[in-house]
Amino acid sequence: MSDTAKFKNIMKKFLQQLRTWAKKENNRQQLKALDTYETKIDMGMSIDCRGSISLFIESVTPYAHHILEDNDEYFMGEDIDVESEYMKLQSQLREWWPGFDDDKKSFVRKYIKLLVMLGTIVSKNEELRQVINIYRDPGNPLMF
């Protein structure tokens, strides 16, 4: 499986889990928001997969240290004014974050980290690769 396919697969699983939680809580607002994000992200991936992944990487790069340290500032900080669906999803996660229990927060952190790593590999973002390697075992650095 290619790195782009892995990224798409993880993003799909991440959105599906968010949808499952929203269904259990019968939260129509969350379901409607997820429908919008999923549709637009799928469309972006179909039209220009690498470009869409690069857009995701752009949106998370300012928060890389927070994400990799499991610092919830990524989910609680101020919004960045970027019009990508990834930024809109990030903003939505910030709204939902206080209502998530520890298991949900752990799941979200894990999947965001995984998407950051896969996206970095796909986009070959050297700056982000260096940040990731600060947090990885020196014997197992992220390589392109």
Q: pTM for the whole thing?
A: 0.89
**What is the pLDDT at residue 78?**
57
Domain limits, the chain: 3-135
The model's pLDDT over 57-70, given as tens digits with 9 standing for 90+, comes to 988 888 899 999 99
Return all residues near 102 (Cβ < 8 A) that are at least 6 apart.
none
The model's pLDDT over 16-37, given as tens digits with 9 standing for 90+, comes to 999 999 999 898 988 998 998 8
Q: Is 41 exposed, middle or buried (0-12, 13-18, 19+ CB in 10 A)?
A: buried
